[in-house]
Amino acid sequence: MKPFTYLRVGDTADAVRWGREPGTRYLGGGTNLVDLLRETLEQPDRLVDVTALSTEIEPRDDGSLLIGAAVRNTALAAHPAVRDRFPMLSRAIMAGASAQVRNMATVGGNLMQRTRCAYFYDDEGARCNKRSPGQGCDAIEGFNRMHAILGASSDCVATHPSDMCVALAALGAVVHLNHADGDRSLPLTDLHRLPEDRPDLDTVLRPGELITAIELPPLPFGRRATYRKVRDRASYAFALVSVAAALELDGDTVKEVRLAFGGVAHKPWRGFKAEAMLKGQPATSAAFLAAADAEFADARPLSHNGFKVELARRTLHAVLLELTEMTP
């Protein structure tokens, strides 16, 4: 591992001031970044530890919630306001990693964690455009069972690994960012990129830009919601496919619906097409399957992951049936 300087900052202004220096990386719980340092996939000169920044979880009277970026994953999943107003988010966090990792990992770090594509980590044996732009991608013709079926490019077919981000996408979360050149806020669905011809860029963040908080707008039907993760084993496994869903019914008709998918794309995939198909329709099995078909009509499976299309379709169908029968 290359030697680096370690700094722990106490306020956002200090973090952003250091963040503008080339060769600096922010450090959350370190559960992803330290692995990348050990593998020499990241070689910064300076780590700026941001875990002393905001750990506040602030429920507001209008039903919204402000979450500091240094909040640990366990604390967020267990918070009474999250469990009450946004149970989908609690479930998504608890479906990820292990208790030990969740105790260390921060919200900011979870959003910024890197793909788990095995070829990305295989520095000596595999070609990877995300690691070394222009090198090629060994996953496309290789073992690509875990890879993307939507939004991929001829340069990269990796998936985004986070469970939390799938729930945040469905909930319409807004990400607050600080930067030496000015602050801004973005919908979470605009934070992560599709790979196109720059798979080395995971997000639209500017160099040195710091995530300070996540805001969840009110979701009055947030209790009729769930997160279902389909994976190879019960723990320590990333999603083959996951579905975050919230449903509002008016009698037997779908009044509002929020959908997002994990394990299918380079970013948390908000199900805008399925949502549009469902609104105003009867909440029936046939309508749910038609919506799933619309969402996955553009799916382009690879040699080993064709099963994901049917898996995602069936998981969405099952989740929506479950929510229809749920008493919120």
For ligand FAD, the binding residues (CB under 6 A) are 25-33, 50, 69, 96-97, 101, 104-106, 108-110, 112-113, 161-164, 210-211, 236, 238
Residue 165 C-beta: closest distance to ligand FAD, Å: 7
Considering beta carbons, is residue 24 or 129 the nearer one to ligand FAD? 24
What tokens appear for 328 in the block?
């919120």
Residue 84 C-beta: closest distance to ligand SF4, Å: 38
DSSP assignment of 275-292: HHHHTTSB--HHHHHHHH
* Torsion angle of the four alpha carbons 85, 88, 93, 94, in this order, in degrees rounded to the nearest 10: 100
Contact 214, 186 (CB under 8 A): no
Q: How far apart are CA 113 and CA 41, in angstroms?
A: 13
Could you say whether residue 159 binds ligand SF4 (CB under 6 A)? no
Considering beta carbons, is residue 144 or 212 the nearer one to ligand FAD? 212
For ligand FAD, which residue has the nearest CB?
Answer: 109
Q: How far apart are CA 172 and CA 168, in angstroms?
A: 6
Contact 19, 45 (CB under 8 A): no
Binding mask 186-225 for ligand SF4 (x = CB under 6 A): -------------x--------------------------
Query: Of these, 26, 120, 227, 288, which contacts ligand SF4 (CB under 6 A)?
Result: 120
Radius of gyration of the chain (CA): 20
Contact 179, 13 (CB under 8 A): no
90 interacts with, out of ligand SF4, ligand FAD, none, CB within 5 to 8 A per kind: none
Could you say whether residue 102 binds ligand SF4 (CB under 6 A)? no
Binding site for ligand SF4 (CB under 6 A): 115, 117, 119-120, 128-130, 137-139, 156-158, 199
